[in-house]
Amino acid sequence: MHDHSESCPGCAAAPEVAFARHDHAHCAADVMGRAEALAGSQGVRLTPVRKRALEILLEEHRALGAYEVLERLAAEGFGNQPPVAYRALDFLVEQGLAHRIQRLNAFAACMHPGEAHAPVFLICRACNAVAEAEAAPVRAALDVAAGGLGFAIERSTVEAVGLCPRCQGGQA
């Protein structure tokens, strides 16, 4: 586990951090701070339920289903109807504060809120840990392939499934 006595802006930016032992409280607090600043600059409200949903997603580097988030929200008095979680999660995705991971039908906190990026999601098939890595070269290759067919990509999600270092038997 790495420890920080000072601010570490690179902590959340390193994709390998999701698969490694690290000061996760610092990592989550850094992302939450950037998310709150982004919401403020975009003139949108991070209501208590939206903020708590993001905090829940930030607790671990793994994707959570809407019903997992709903259970946590309900246990904390935010309501127990599915729209409570879905509205909060949809807001977080629309504002670039979370991503929907199609393969898992789940959501993960964006580790780079407010930054223009083209992520690829590295999903561990054993433990469902999710790392958000830069995929600009992948996106460029997709754009070239699509352009050759006269197709203009407006949005893409790249998800790769495999095994994280811990599940491969390595010490993360």
- 43 phi, psi to nearest 5 deg: 70, 25
Which pTM does this prediction carry? 0.73
- DSSP code of residue 81: S
pLDDT of the residue at 5: 29
Structural domains of the chain, ranges and CATH numbers in brackets: 15-162 (1.10.10.10)
Average pLDDT of the residues in 141-145: 92
Share of the chain above pLDDT 70, in %: 81
In the structure, what pLDDT confidence band is assigned to residue 18 with cuts at 50, 70 and 90?
Answer: low
With a CB cutoff of 8 Å and minimum separation 6, the contacts of 157 are 99, 100, 102, 121
Tokens of 129: 């840990």
Kindly tell me if the per-residue pLDDT of 63 is higher than 70.
Answer: yes
pLDDT at residue 26, rounded to an integer: 61
d(CA 160, CA 104): 12
